[in-house]
């Protein structure tokens, strides 16, 4: 038996000006063939779990590509075609397929990156079972449902169950191959744009939805996934979904999908996040700091790296300095031009330079420059190893990096947008984040497992960047209406009937 295993991950913010060429998928592009196998083997990815499961089954493994990029703007057509071609070209002669996908990819040539890929794989292998692992923020489409036999998504956000999700999908695939089950898929999608800050799985309506999914699995469903969707994509339905994999009885699976979808719809207001004005959020952080002996976290979710943010919006830092904050550490701030100038100046040099505000916000208009004078404290290659719990052991690449001390604040400036997965984003450039009074992070959620334990408090700050929670900032043109919360009177009867 021969099994195709591949990875294609990208969460696309169609409003982001950050480009996504082929080189963005990895350090310098995707890994292919044996390199793809080595890249994921031993990691905490779904693809790694696929490999382990296939090796236990003693099947022949084909790994044409492993491609994963940080969230950003639409994937270049040439990049999308290159990755898809690698997968489709490897499909002939394979008996089964395991795909580690995100679920919210939009390319310049495709509004449904995963659905179009699955359609192409299915055309080559009409009878081979296809199992897919998805991110919790995937935007499920009819093509994805039509061309996959098994779909399982993460059940945690922040995501810490990537490997477990892959293991689950692989188990169902091999059970089908061995005749132990007959997977069938049911799907319901309420017209609800869920905010990412309301998709955390340890609280609120999302926690209750995931608990209902787990209970349904314990009651006999092969897999039940609640995908909050990724709303910063101008496609037809970037909405929340419930996907149920049943064992031979699609009607029964649909009853479960309808029940959980109706539960979600009845609590739809709890999936909506309403931001406070930025000045109020910063003032709240100042109150926390008065009695704190640890840093106060200010999370700039309006310019969040892992939702396609530019990571160069300076609104939050400017407001913090306006309110008199000191002992501030901010970063990673993405500004390749500034990094080049700081590396040219050298450690110890005093420079006056414009940092950030180089890329447009949601309006598409240029931002005023943020000019500062400071001392270059460190220059590095921007590489470190993530210690966990997310992507434990994976090598991280910020691009060339620099530390600029401007007195009240210390800035970590990088060539690449980069999520603060780990204390290593600061420790790798010689900064101990525990010694800061305020930590300003370009993050929404992934930083929390690492930075919350060293912090005295946390404040969510909306800087009005391209990942803002204020959907009114974005010019949706393809979105199917009515949809909640844009249309408050939206009525949905999709949970009724089959």
* pLDDT, mean over the chain: 95
Asked if 213 and 188 sit in the same domain, the reply is yes
Asked if 223 and 164 sit in the same domain, the reply is yes
Residue 481 lies in a domain: no
The confidence score (pLDDT) of residue 496 equals 56
Last residue of a domain, one of 220, 252, 271: 271
Domain limits for position 386: 278-468
Asked if 317 and 196 sit in the same domain, the reply is no
In this predicted model, what pLDDT tens digit does every residue of 177-226 receive, in sequence order?
A: 999 999 999 999 999 999 999 999 999 999 999 999 999 999 999 999 99
- Percentage with pLDDT > 70 across the chain: 99
- Percentage with pLDDT > 90 across the chain: 91
Q: Check whether 498 has a pLDDT greater than 50.
A: no
Residue 484 lies in a domain: no
Asked if 185 and 290 sit in the same domain, the reply is no
Asked if 445 and 331 sit in the same domain, the reply is yes
Q: Per 3-state DSSP, what percentage of the chain is helix, strand, and coil (rounded to 5)?
A: 35, 20, 45
Q: Is 108:76 a contact under the CB 8 Å cutoff?
A: yes
In this predicted model, what pLDDT tens digit does every residue of 98-115 receive, in sequence order?
A: 999 999 999 999 999 999
Last residue of a domain, one of 271, 295, 316: 271
Residue 490 lies in a domain: no
The confidence score (pLDDT) of residue 464 equals 87
Angstrom distance (rounded) from CA 277 to CA 274? 10
In this predicted model, what pLDDT tens digit does every residue of 353-392 receive, in sequence order?
A: 999 999 998 888 888 889 999 999 999 999 999 987 777 7
The sign one gets for the Cα dihedral 121, 123, 124, 128 is positive
User: pLDDT band at residue 495, thresholds of 50, 70 and 90?
Assistant: low
Angstrom distance (rounded) from CA 57 to CA 50? 11
Angstrom distance (rounded) from CA 472 to CA 468? 9
The confidence score (pLDDT) of residue 365 equals 81
The confidence score (pLDDT) of residue 299 equals 97
Asked if 370 and 405 sit in the same domain, the reply is yes
Q: Quick one: CA torsion of 100, 101, 107, 110, rounded to 10 degrees?
A: 110
Angstrom distance (rounded) from CA 98 to CA 7? 9
Angstrom distance (rounded) from CA 22 to CA 413? 23
Structure token pair of residue 155 = 């059940």
The sign one gets for the Cα dihedral 76, 123, 249, 218 is negative
Q: Is 405:375 a contact under the CB 8 Å cutoff?
A: yes
The confidence score (pLDDT) of residue 105 equals 98
Angstrom distance (rounded) from CA 76 to CA 79? 5
Asked if 57 and 196 sit in the same domain, the reply is yes
Cβ-based neighbour number of residue 427 at 10 Å = 14
3-state secondary structure of 184: strand
The confidence score (pLDDT) of residue 497 equals 46
Residue 103 lies in a domain: yes
User: Which phi-psi region, left, alpha or beta, contains residue 335 (left: φ > 0; alpha: ψ -120 to 50)?
Assistant: beta
The confidence score (pLDDT) of residue 367 equals 86
Residue 496 lies in a domain: no
The confidence score (pLDDT) of residue 51 equals 98
Angstrom distance (rounded) from CA 49 to CA 58? 14
Range of weakest confidence among 131-135, 444-448, 450-454:
444-448
Asked if 97 and 65 sit in the same domain, the reply is yes
Asked if 442 and 389 sit in the same domain, the reply is yes
Angstrom distance (rounded) from CA 446 to CA 70? 13
The confidence score (pLDDT) of residue 326 equals 97
User: pLDDT band at residue 493, thresholds of 50, 70 and 90?
Assistant: confident
**Which strands make up the sheet holding 296-300, listed edge to edge?**
350-354, 371-380, 401-405, 409-414, 328-334, 438-441, 296-300, 457-461
CA nearest 30: which of 74, 72, 83? 83
Angstrom distance (rounded) from CA 370 to CA 403? 16
What would the mean pLDDT of 80-109 be, rounded to a whole number?
A: 98
In this predicted model, what pLDDT tens digit does every residue of 387-431 receive, in sequence order?
A: 877 777 888 999 999 999 999 999 999 999 999 989 999 999 999
User: pLDDT band at residue 468, thresholds of 50, 70 and 90?
Assistant: very high
Strands 223-227 and 241-247: antiparallel
Q: Is 103:135 a contact under the CB 8 Å cutoff?
A: yes
Range of weakest confidence among 80-84, 165-169, 452-456, 489-493:
489-493
In this predicted model, what pLDDT tens digit does every residue of 285-328 receive, in sequence order?
A: 999 999 999 999 999 999 999 999 999 999 999 999 999 999 99
Asked if 70 and 90 sit in the same domain, the reply is yes
User: Which phi-psi region, left, alpha or beta, contains residue 12 (left: φ > 0; alpha: ψ -120 to 50)?
Assistant: beta
Asked if 259 and 287 sit in the same domain, the reply is no
Q: Give residue for tokens 């779909």.
A: 151
Angstrom distance (rounded) from CA 458 to CA 352? 31
The confidence score (pLDDT) of residue 56 equals 98
Q: Which residues, in sequence order, are bridge partners of residue 334?
A: 414
Residue 440 lies in a domain: yes
Structure token pair of residue 91 = 């499909």
The confidence score (pLDDT) of residue 354 equals 97
Residue 492 lies in a domain: no
In this predicted model, what pLDDT tens digit does every residue of 127-182 receive, in sequence order?
A: 999 999 999 999 999 999 999 999 999 999 988 899 999 999 999 999 999 999 99
3-state secondary structure of 413: strand
Instruction: Domain count for the chain, please give it.
Output: 2
The confidence score (pLDDT) of residue 433 equals 97
Residue 387 lies in a domain: yes
Last residue of a domain, one of 271, 297, 320: 271
The confidence score (pLDDT) of residue 66 equals 98
Cβ-based neighbour number of residue 493 at 10 Å = 8
Asked if 204 and 336 sit in the same domain, the reply is no
């Amino acid at each position: 038996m021969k099994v195709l295993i591949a990875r294609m991950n990208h969460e696309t913010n169609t409003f982001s000006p950050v480009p996504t060429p082929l080189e963005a998928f990895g350090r310098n592009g995707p890994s292919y063939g044996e390199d793809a196998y080595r890249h994921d083997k031993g990691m905490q990815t779904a693809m790694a779990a696929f490999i382990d499961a296939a090796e236990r089954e003693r099947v022949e493994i084909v790994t044409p590509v492993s491609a994963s990029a940080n969230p950003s703007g639409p994937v270049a057509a040439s990049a999308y075609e290159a990755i898809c071609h690698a997968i489709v070209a490897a499909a002939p002669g394979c008996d089964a397929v395991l795909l580690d996908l995100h679920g919210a990819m939009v390319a310049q040539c495709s509004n449904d990156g995963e659905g179009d890929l699955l359609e192409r794989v299915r055309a080559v292998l009409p009878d081979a079972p296809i199992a897919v692992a998805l991110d919790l923020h995937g935007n499920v489409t009819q093509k994805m449902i039509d061309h996959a036999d098994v779909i399982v998504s993460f059940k945690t956000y922040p995501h810490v169950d990537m490997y477990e999700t892959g293991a689950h999908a692989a188990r169902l695939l091999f059970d089908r191959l061995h005749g132990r089950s007959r997977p069938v898929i049911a799907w319901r999608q309420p017209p609800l744009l869920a905010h990412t800050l309301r998709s955390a799985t340890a609280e609120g309506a999302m926690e209750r939805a995931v608990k209902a999914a787990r209970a349904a699995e314990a009651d006999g469903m092969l897999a039940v996934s609640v995908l909050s969707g990724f709303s910063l994509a101008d496609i037809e339905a970037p909405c929340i979904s419930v996907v149920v994999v049943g064992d031979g009885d699609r009607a029964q699976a649909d009853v479960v999908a309808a029940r959980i979808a109706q539960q979600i719809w009845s609590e739809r207001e709890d999936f909506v996040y309403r931001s406070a004005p930025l000045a109020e959020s910063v003032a709240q952080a100042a109150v926390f700091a008065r009695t704190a002996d640890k840093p106060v976290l200010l999370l700039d979710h309006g310019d969040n790296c892992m939702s396609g943010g530019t990571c160069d919006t300076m609104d939050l830092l400017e407001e913090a300095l306006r309110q008199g904050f000191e002992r501030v550490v901010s970063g990673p701030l993405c500004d390749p031009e500034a990094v080049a100038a700081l590396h040219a100046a050298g450690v110890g040099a005093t420079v006056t330079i414009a940092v950030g505000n180089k890329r447009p916000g949601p309006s598409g208009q240029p931002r005023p420059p943020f000019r500062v004078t400071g001392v270059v404290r460190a220059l590095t290659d921007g590489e470190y190893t993530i210690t966990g719990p997310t992507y434990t052991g994976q090598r991280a690449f910020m691009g060339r990096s620099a530390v600029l001390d401007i007195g009240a604040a210390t800035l970590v400036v990088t060539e690449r947008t980069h999520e603060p997965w780990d204390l290593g984003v600061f420790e790798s450039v010689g900064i101990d984040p525990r010694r800061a009074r305020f930590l300003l992070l370009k993050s929404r959620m992934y930083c929390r497992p690492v930075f919350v334990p060293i912090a005295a408090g946390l404040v969510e700050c909306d800087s009005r960047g391209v990942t803002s929670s204020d959907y009114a900032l974005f010019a949706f043109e393809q979105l199917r209406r009515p949809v909640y919360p844009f249309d408050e009177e939206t009525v949905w009867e999709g949970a009724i009937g089959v």
